[in-house]
Amino acid sequence: MAEHSTTPERTEIDRAETGRAETGRSETGPGGDAAPGVAQEPGALDALRRSPAGHLAEQMREAGTDGERGVRLAELPFRPQIGVRSWPGTPSCDVVEAALGLPMPTRCGESTGDAAGLHSLWLSPDEFLVVDASRRQVPGEARRAEEALEGLPGQVIDLSGNRTILELSGPRARAVLEKGCHVDLHPREFPVGAVASTALGPVQVILHRSDEGTFRVYPRSSFAEYTVHWLIDGMREFASPPID
């Protein structure tokens, strides 16, 4: 498969570390314990959380259509996303894989694991994004892997707040993305499980084909609203009857 992904000047982890240093925020306190005042149960956090595209849920629902020309858009909010920097096959990567419970991809643009649950996305030869699509993020997601990596080269960091996940599905999902995606999305070049770091319109995203007719778009949280509106605009064509 052709190499679609491009390596940015600063990685996902670099950007997250910079933001943490500038704000002084951390999910853990001294010794790795949860920071004071941070709720430990997902239910306690849910009442306070606001997802990047949550206020657009109704617009996304109304824009969806079914049938042969169907396409639907929804947000998968608050999913755990863990950034990993390590070379596959090295002792450091081995301990991270054991701690997280799945192997990292070894080929450009591939993913490993179960797209409906825990899986890993290839971003560059030594950079991966581990995602669990089956549940919501809780504080300390990366702690076990961080502790396993202690003293070894590499890095693990919780990136759950860095991006949200927009799921575009249906027979016309690919056609919507092709209106502004720089990647060849034909199944021959971008099969189920494929991953690319690319642009959707003017927005840099991670794109993952999680199923035959389903694509997951990962925009940065600050670009989520724009990306939703861009996708809804691209979906409008399929909400109208076809012209004979």
Each residue of 48-73: pLDDT tens digit?
789 999 999 999 999 999 999 999 99
Low-confidence ranges of the chain (pLDDT < 70): 1-46, 243-244
Do 73 and 172 lie in one domain? The reply is yes
Name the nearest CA neighbour of 228 among 90, 101, 61.
61
User: What's the pLDDT at 44?
Assistant: 62
Distances in Å between the alpha carbon of 113 and those of 7, 162, 177, 178?
Answer: 23, 22, 24, 26
Do 176 and 193 lie in one domain? The reply is yes
User: What's the pLDDT at 191?
Assistant: 98
Do 60 and 171 lie in one domain? The reply is yes
Do 62 and 181 lie in one domain? The reply is yes
Q: State whether residue 95 is helix, strand or coil.
A: helix
The CATH number of whichever domain residue 194 belongs to comes to: 3.30.1360.120
Integer Cα distance of 214 and 173 in angstroms: 7
Tokens 């076809």 correspond to: 242
User: What's the pLDDT at 180?
Assistant: 97
223, part of any domain: yes
Last residue of a domain, one of 161, 176, 201: 161
pTM of the predicted structure, to 2 decimals = 0.81
Range of the domain at 135: 79-161
User: What's the pLDDT at 39?
Assistant: 37
Residue 192 burial class via C-beta count within 10 angstroms: exposed 0-12, middle 13-18, buried 19 and up: middle
User: What's the pLDDT at 13?
Assistant: 58
Length of the chain: 244
